[in-house]
Amino acid sequence: MTALHSGMFSFSKSFCPATAIHGLLVCTLAMAGCQAETRSKMPTQIASEDQTSPPVASPKADATPEPPRLIIDVDGFSDRQGRCRIALYREAEGFNQPQKAWAKETLDIPAGDVLVWAIESNDPALNDPQTRWAISAHQDRNGNDKLDKNALGIPIEPYGFSNNPKRGFGPPKFDDVSFKIPSLQDQQTTRIKIKLQ
C-alpha cells in the first residue's frame, strides 16, 4: 500500500473522506470529553504541596497590653487657653525644678474637664514601693514654659500638686506632696488626681 503525504497527514489509496471525517469527529469528541472530565476534577483553589505545614500562629485571645503603672488626672482648668505642663519627680532632690524631673510632658488641654497622662515604663523605680514620687502641674496659659507669678511671687496661673495641698506662701514641701507606688503584686496601676487652683 502506497502512502500519500500531504503536509502533516498521510492517506492511503483506499482513503474514504466520509469515514475519515467520522473518525476524526469521534476522536475530537472523545478528547474534549476527557479534557472536560479532567477540568471538572481540578480544585478551584490549589492546595499547598506541603500538606503538613503548620498553621500560621494567631495572637492569643488573652494577649492584652499591660496597663500603665501610673495615671495622672488633672482638672480645674480655668479655660482651654495654653497647654498643661506636668512633671513627675523622683525623691526630694530637684523637686519643683522641671529640668530635673524624672519625666515631664506638655499636653493640650482637652475639651472635657479632665486631662489624663498615663505613664508606662520598665524602669525598676516604678516597681520599688519604697521610692517616693511627687507631681506638679500648671496651666501655661501664655505658652512661656513656666509658671507665671506676680510681684509678690504668688502664681497667677492655675497650678497644683499631688496630694492637693492647700495653697500657702511658697511652693509646698516634697514630703507634703509625695506618694509611693505599690508593688505590682499589690496594685498594677496607681491613679493620682490633681486639682488645679
- The 10s digit of each residue's pLDDT in 2-28 is 333 333 433 344 444 444 444 443 444
pLDDT digits (tens, 9 = 90+) for 106-162: 999 999 889 999 998 888 889 899 999 999 999 999 999 999 999 988 999 999 999
Contact 70, 181 (CB under 8 A): yes
C-beta contacts of 123-129 below 8 A and 24+ residues apart: 125/90, 126/69, 126/70, 126/181, 127/69, 127/181, 127/183, 127/184, 128/181, 129/180, 129/181, 129/182, 129/183, 129/186
Cite the DSSP H helix spans in 3-122.
17-40
Query: Where does the pLDDT of residue 55 fall: very low under 50, low under 70, confident under 90, or very high at 90 and above?
Result: very low
User: Quick one: how far is CA 136 from the chain centroid?
Assistant: 28
Please calculate the CA angle 124-97-149 and round it to the nearest 5 degrees.
145
Q: What is the pLDDT of residue 14?
A: 45
Helix (H, G, I), strand (E, B) or coil at 71: strand
The pLDDT value recorded for residue 63 is: 55
Taking the C-alpha atoms of residue 12 and residue 4, their distance in angstroms, rounded to an integer, is: 6
3-class secondary-structure state, position 63 = coil
Per-residue cell: 133: 514620687
Q: What is the mean pLDDT of residues 84-92?
A: 97
Return the DSSP state at 155. B
pLDDT tens per residue across span 151-180: 988 999 999 999 999 988 889 999 999 999
